[in-house]
Amino acid sequence: MIANHIPLVALASVAFLTIASPSARGQQPAAARTYNTVKQKLAQGQKVVGATVSIPGPEIYCAVANAGFDFTWIEMQHSPLTYQDVARMLMACKGAPAIPFIRVPDATEGDIQKATDVGALGIIVPMVDTVEKARAAVKFAKYPPIGRRSQGGGQYGALWGDRYRQTANENIMIVAMIENPAGVEIADQIAAVPGIDVLFVASTDLGSFSGRRQGDPQYEALVARAQQAAQKAGRTVGGPLAWTDREGYSFFQGPGEAALLRCGSRVSLGVKPTGCPSVGVAAIEGTEER
């Protein structure tokens, strides 16, 4: 008697799967969950600010990541931070509201692979002045079929969940820094690369490479050209926090831990704060008060 009922059970199972399957009903599978709150806020038209982190201390990192910033700009181009340092910092502050972005030394497979493996959801690429470099950043940050990131190991799953492999491509953002006139010259081509999310106009290096200062008509023409290229391609425009009053900008690099500590200390002591972030002309990197 049991054997005679097997076909009925099989038919019932097939019918259930047919009804339950999204593809069988002509629907697409659910889209990957977006947990990168920076990406969410930008999509809603909001501005986002990231604090710059250069000190390898989990306690300091957690203080910054929980201070109200939208993201952390973890500085690995101009600091002695190691990937082991950053891995400890991110794990110590798992669940902090600030999303970790890492400025890698260059758009190499090794640097980007390590940055994503430790849990960065944003890859900031310096000195993008070739289309090939922009494409490489996307290629090494994204899993197939978009890119060629190796799955390997890492602590990304502990930070972002066991469906990380299925959701990473939707959540990892690529920020291309335009730092010299050569980058400005092809900014439209860089912005057109699929997978580039933000074109960041680097105020200090643009001045250094062009020999012009902020406010100079030639300098401002370079800035305007990069901004227009980003906006034409539908990309977010980024810059220093001092440029919050510039129309069209919504992604900002904020001050580092030393400036935040100095400013906060002076406010606490009732002293007129100096060295605090200001609007207008961006500070020149490397000339900060010590």
What is the full per-residue pLDDT of the chain (290 aa) written as tens digits? Answer: 334 443 433 333 433 333 344 443 444 444 668 999 999 999 999 999 999 999 999 999 999 999 999 999 999 999 999 999 999 999 999 999 999 999 999 999 999 999 999 999 999 999 999 999 999 999 999 999 999 999 988 999 999 999 999 999 999 999 999 999 999 999 999 999 999 999 999 999 999 999 999 999 999 999 999 999 999 999 999 999 999 999 999 999 999 998 898 888 888 898 877 667 777 666 766 555 55
Asked, for residue 48, whether it belongs to a domain, the answer is: yes
Q: What is the pTM of this model?
A: 0.86
CATH of the domain at 180: 3.20.20.60
CB atoms within 10 A of CB 232: 12
Residues 105, 219: Cα–Cα separation, whole Å: 25
Q: Sign (positive/negative) of CA torsion 98, 104, 108, 113?
A: negative
Is position 191 within any domain?
Answer: yes
Range of the domain at 85: 31-268
Per-residue exposure over 43-57, b if at least 16 CB sit within 10 Å of its own CB, e if not: eeeeebbbbbbbbbe
Closest CA to 27 of 36, 35, 18: 18
In a domain, 234, yes or no: yes
Q: What is the C-alpha to C-alpha distance for residues 219 and 83, in angstroms, rounded to an integer? A: 35
Is residue 284 domain-resident?
no
How many structural domains compose the chain? 1
Does 9 reside within a domain?
no
**3-state SS string for 102-133:** EECCCCCHHHHHHHHHCCCCEEEECCCCCHHH
Type and span of the H or E element at 250: strand 249-256
| Residue 49 in tokens | 């600010």
- Write the DSSP string, 166-180: HHHHHH-EEEEEE-S
